[in-house]
Amino acid sequence: MTFDVYLNVAVAGVLTGLVYGLMALGLSVIFGVVRVVNFAHGEMMSIAMYIAVVLFSALHLDPLVMLVPIAAVMFVFGYALQAGLINPFITRPEHSQFLLVVALAIIIVNALLILFGPDAQTVQTSYAYDSFAWGPLIVDATKLFAGAAAIVFTAALFVFFRVTLIGKAIRACADNYTGALVVGLNVNRLYALTFGIGAACVGAAGTMMTLITDVTPALGPSYTLLAFVIVITGGLGSMPGALLGGILIGFTEAMAGLLFVPSAKSMFSFAILVLVLLLRPQGLLGRRLA
C-alpha cells in the first residue's frame, strides 16, 4: 500500500503546486518588471476566491467557466491599483512601498471580513468527489482540472511575453528602464499593464483554488507568504522558476503532511526557502543577483 499512497499524495501535491505556481507567477511578473514587492498578493488572491464563491453560490457558475472572466476583473483591479495608487511610489524606498501595500492588504482583509464574515466558504461542484484512476494512481477531478487550467493559463502568458509586441515591450522595461524610456515606450502604462497581468494570474489561480480548498478572509496573509516562498525558491523575476517553485512547494507540503503532521507542513516550505536563500540566493532558475 505504501508506494501507492506516496504516489497519490505526490501527484495531488504537484497538481496543487501548479496552482500555487500560477499565483506566484503573478508576484514574480510584478516584481520583475515594476520592482514593487506586492505584499498584498495573497489578499488579492482571496478577493478572486470570494468572487468565484459568490458567483457559484448565487448563479451556479462553475469556477472553470469563470476562470477567464474573473481573471479579467482582477486585471482591471490590478491596472487601476498600479495606475492610481502604486505608480507614484515606484521611486520611493522599499519600506515606504512596503507600508503602502501592507495598508492596502489590511483594508482588503477586513473589507472581506465585513462582507463575508469569518466562516469558511466553499464551492461544491457536481464533480467535487469524482476521481480518475489509472492503475494504482487515483487523482481528484478537481485537482486535475485546476492543475490543467493553471498550465494552460501559464502557457498563454509565456506566449504573450515571447510573441506579442506589448509582451516584448514589458520585458524591455524590466531589462532596462532608461533604455525603455529612450526608445519611447510609455513605461507608466506598461507598468499598469504588468500589474494588471500579475493580478490576472492571481485571479485565475484564486478561481482554481476554490475547487481545491475553502476560503476565509484570514487566508490572505498566508497566501502572500506562500507566494514569496515560491517565487524566491524559483527565482524572483523568472517565469519558469515560479512554476517550478510552485510544484516543489506543493509537493513538499503534501509529503510533509503525509510523513509528519499536516499543521507543520509550511515549516518545510520555510526550511526550503532558507536553504535556497543561503545556497543559491538568486533562486533555482533565477539570474545572478546584481
| Binding flag, residue 247, other proteins (CB under 8 A) | no
| String of contacts with other proteins for each residue 111-150, x by CB under 8 A | x-xx---x--------------------------------
Owner of C-alpha cell 462582507:
115
Collapsed DSSP state (helix, strand, coil) of residue 132: strand
Is 150:22 a contact under the CB 8 Å cutoff? yes
* Axis-axis angle for helices 165-175, 141-163 (nearest 10): 80
Owner of C-alpha cell 514569496:
228
- How many CA atoms lie within 13 Å of 118's alpha carbon, on the beta-carbon side? 0
Stretch that binds other proteins, among 62-70, 108-116, 183-191, 196-204 (CB under 8 A): 108-116
Distances 214 to 70, 116, 142, 196 between C-alpha atoms, Å: 18, 13, 13, 25
Please identify, using beta-carbon distances, which residue of 109 and 248 lies nearer to other proteins. Answer: 109
CA pair distance 112, 9, nearest whole angstrom: 32
CA pair distance 219, 254, nearest whole angstrom: 18
| Binding flag, residue 96, other proteins (CB under 8 A) | yes
Please identify, using beta-carbon distances, which residue of 162 and 280 lies nearer to other proteins. Answer: 280
| Binding flag, residue 52, other proteins (CB under 8 A) | no
Least spacing, CB of residue 9 vs other proteins, in Å? 20
Least spacing, CB of residue 251 vs other proteins, in Å? 18
Least spacing, CB of residue 231 vs other proteins, in Å? 9
| Binding flag, residue 163, other proteins (CB under 8 A) | no
| Binding flag, residue 84, other proteins (CB under 8 A) | no
Owner of C-alpha cell 499524495:
9
CA pair distance 131, 40, nearest whole angstrom: 34
Cell for 122?
Answer: 466553499
Collapsed DSSP state (helix, strand, coil) of residue 106: helix
| Binding flag, residue 83, other proteins (CB under 8 A) | no
Please identify, using beta-carbon distances, which residue of 68 and 284 lies nearer to other proteins. Answer: 284
How many residues contact other proteins, by CB under 8 A? 40
CA pair distance 213, 54, nearest whole angstrom: 15
Please identify, using beta-carbon distances, which residue of 259 and 277 lies nearer to other proteins. Answer: 277
Residue 177: exposure state from Cβ atoms within 10 A (0-12, 13-18, ≥19): middle
Please identify, using beta-carbon distances, which residue of 60 and 95 lies nearer to other proteins. Answer: 95
- Give the Cα-Cα-Cα angle 15, 18, 21 (nearest 5 degrees): 155
Owner of C-alpha cell 492503475:
135
| String of contacts with other proteins for each residue 204-233, x by CB under 8 A | -----------------x---x--xx--x-
Least spacing, CB of residue 77 vs other proteins, in Å? 16
| Binding flag, residue 255, other proteins (CB under 8 A) | no
Least spacing, CB of residue 35 vs other proteins, in Å? 9
Q: Which chain residues interact with other proteins by CB under 8 A?
A: 37, 88, 92, 94-96, 98-100, 102-104, 106-107, 109-111, 113-114, 118, 221, 225, 228-229, 232, 236, 261, 263-264, 266-267, 270-271, 273-274, 277-279, 281, 289
